[in-house]
Amino acid sequence: MTPAFDLQYSITTWIQESAQELPDFPENFDPVVRPADPRFGDFQANGVLPLAKQLKTNPRQLATALMEKIAAHPSLSEEHFDLTIAGPGFINIRLKPAFLTAWTSAFNDPDRLADGLDHLYRGKTVVMDFSGPNTAKQMHVGHIRSTVIGEAISRLLSFCGAKVVRDNHIGDWGTQFGILLLACKRFGFDFDQDPVTALPALEDLYRQGNQLVEEDPEAKSEARQELVLLQNGDEERLEIWKKINELSQGAFNDLYRRLGVSFDLTLGESHYRDQVAGVCEQLESLKIAEESDGALVVFHPEHPRFNEQPFIIRKSDGASNYATTDLATVAYRCEELGASEIIYVTDGRQQDHFEQLFLTVNKWFAASGKEAPALRHVWFGTILGEGGKAIKTRSGGSVKLRDLIDEGVERARLIVDEKNPDLPDEEKDSIAEAVGIGAIRYADLMQNRTHDYVFSWDKMLSFDGNTAPYLLYAAARIHAIFRKAGLQPGEGEEQGDALQTEEEILLARQLALFPAAVAQVTQDLRPHFLCTYLFELANAFSSFYNANRVMVDNPAEQGRRLMLCSRTLLFLKTGLHLLGIETLEKM
Ligand code: ARG
């Protein structure tokens, strides 16, 4: 029989089943099983303590009663697990070496890893709203976090069984188009260019237009007129608007390709332009929205701030806004995409917006007799420069994402040249692209997303510490072990026997914690937990490899060590792939 992949989950279920045989334990008893300090065991169950407190009984006694039942549970047999009571009533669970060996041997292909985790998100349709740049502008450093965090969460949730729909909610219907249309008319613009280089030119055009509008009141009203014409569906304006968006999209796509990011849909704000008026009407007739100083707003009396600071859904000049569009978008995603959950990945400065949006959606759906989807705002902090302030170029402008990526790749190329001077140029280039982009991405993902962090090339490109180069190097080193042995990863492990040495056991234990790490990420949608896990896995591999020779005369010993090598590679590769980073065979 194949062991269960997600041990934390299975042990939880088994303890719950055991607890059901005791009258003191409620049906929804949560044993709170977590990975433990290795000195005490592999997992620890702490849930007896709060229950004992609630029942006002002795926790140790309660734990002892539970232990008796656990000992009789067929899946928690003594053959596989060592169970002990510790402290005031913790239950420590240690996996026996034979069980660890069977577990690590069994999970030898990525599909089986995913199958073992699909209990986490099976049956859910999740719309992922991330990246969302505004058109006619280049993506800047502020977009990297949304893009890489959103991509990682999308991959993780679909790995855990969700149906994920990635929707890029681009800002393609903003007031910037008034000025752009005016500037196109006055100065002209050649749209037949490579989008990657044309987008900066379009930004210059906007700047020119903006200057014009600031200097000349007549130009200002003309720009406003252009915007009104566009919004009223004037063919000629729509044509230019479309070209601007296509060009922007071309430039975005180039970055998405380099970052390994993809979307199922790019509907954007303009997609909802005919629906926003209806949303306002509905909310008004449901008495959720009201007029205030000529604007249409939603107050939330139960909220300490939004009781007085309302959610504005139509401005006093009659124009709808970001909020109205987001309301229409929720309705569309539920009705047309079947969303059971919507996850928004943006900067922390939009926390109020999303809190108000979610409150409003819940009231709106309840009043219409519909079930609201689960709504989550996955927000993140700022990337800081060396001086501790938001990162800027030397001239004070925003750092363009393309320049950042190019610089990362260039720097990585210098490192590859130094470490591997004999590789053919083409291979060096592709390693540099992977290492440079992987380093930037990983440096972002390894931070707790709600923290600000200081951007540092030296740190992220270092081969020591919790970095992409360190992890990629660990994977490449395992490839080299197999290459030298004339084997493919996965080969040569059949004759292996049970794991024995301390380092073997510690490495296998770390492998067995993979599902718990993924589960932890999905709870709070914080990818850094997976980074920490992978770093610890690479460390455990390093200790193992330094202390235990892999290619030895004894086929049983060699077999089990090759098995550990191949499994470490598979878990590293799978984990890094979930973060958006592809491993290399050589570097
Ligand atoms: N375009 C927005 C920005 O640049 C991000 C969009 C986020 N998604 C949303 N549905 N509001 O800030």
Cα dist from 189 to 30, 182, 185, 199, 203, whole Å = 64, 11, 8, 11, 11
Q: What are the backbone dihedrals phi and psi of residue 472, each rounded to the nearest 5 degrees, phi first?
A: -65, -35
Is pLDDT above 70 for 143? yes
The residues, any chain, with a CB within 8 Å of residue 147's CB and separated by 6 or more, are 130, 131, 139, 256, 259, 261
Q: How confident is the model at residue 396 (pLDDT cuts 50, 70, 90)?
A: confident
Q: Residue with the nearest Cα to atom 5 of ligand 1?
A: 132
- Domain assignment of residue 12, yes or no: yes
Reading the block at residue 156, the tokens are: 């993780």
pLDDT in the model for residue 94: 95
- Domain assignment of residue 387, yes or no: no
Is pLDDT above 90 for 476? yes
Domain CATH for 50: 3.30.1360.70
Are 434 and 472 in contact by the 8 Å Cβ rule? The answer is yes
Cα gap 251→200, rounded to integer Å: 10
The residues, any chain, with a CB within 8 Å of residue 222's CB and separated by 6 or more, are 182
pLDDT in the model for residue 397: 86
pLDDT, average across residues 228-242: 94
Percentage of the chain lying above the pLDDT 70 cut: 100
pLDDT in the model for residue 394: 82
- In sequence order, the β-bridge partners of residue 383 are 453
Boundary of a domain, candidates 259, 294, 328: 259
ipTM of predicted assembly, 2 dp: 0.99
Q: Please give the number of the atom of ligand 1 that sits closest to the Cα of 344.
A: 8
Q: Please give the number of the atom of ligand 1 that sits closest to the Cα of 170.
A: 1
Is pLDDT above 70 for 1? no
Alpha helix segments (H runs only) across 420-492? 425-445, 457-460, 468-485
Q: How confident is the model at residue 79 (pLDDT cuts 50, 70, 90)?
A: confident
- Domain assignment of residue 40, yes or no: yes
pLDDT in the model for residue 511: 98
Is pLDDT above 70 for 355? yes
Closest alpha carbon to 313 in 268, 364, 373: 364
Reading the block at residue 518, the tokens are: 């993924």
| 40 vs 479, residue with greater confidence | 479
Is pLDDT above 80 for 391? yes
Q: Tell how far the Cα of 346 is from the centroid of ligand 1, in angstroms.
A: 7
pLDDT, average across residues 554-574: 98
Cα gap 506→511, rounded to integer Å: 9
Residues with CB under 6 A from ligand 1: 129, 132, 134, 169, 171, 326, 329, 344, 346
Q: Tell how far the Cα of 131 is from the centroid of ligand 1, in angstroms.
A: 8
- Domain assignment of residue 254, yes or no: yes
Percentage of the chain lying above the pLDDT 90 cut: 92
pLDDT in the model for residue 142: 87
- Domain assignment of residue 20, yes or no: yes
Domain membership of residue 216 as a residue range: 176-259
- Domain assignment of residue 24, yes or no: yes
Q: Please give the number of the atom of ligand 1 that sits closest to the Cα of 142.
A: 4
- Domain assignment of residue 502, yes or no: no
The domain total for the chain is 2
Q: Tell how far the Cα of 517 is from the centroid of ligand 1, in angstroms.
A: 29
| Mean of pLDDT over the chain | 95
Q: Please give the number of the atom of ligand 1 that sits closest to the Cα of 353.
A: 11
Is pLDDT above 90 for 82? yes
Boundary of a domain, candidates 61, 95, 129: 95
Boundary of a domain, candidates 232, 259, 286: 259
Is pLDDT above 90 for 110? no
- Domain assignment of residue 31, yes or no: yes
Mutate to test the pocket of ligand 1, among 169, 267, 272 (most ligand atoms within 8 A of CB): 169
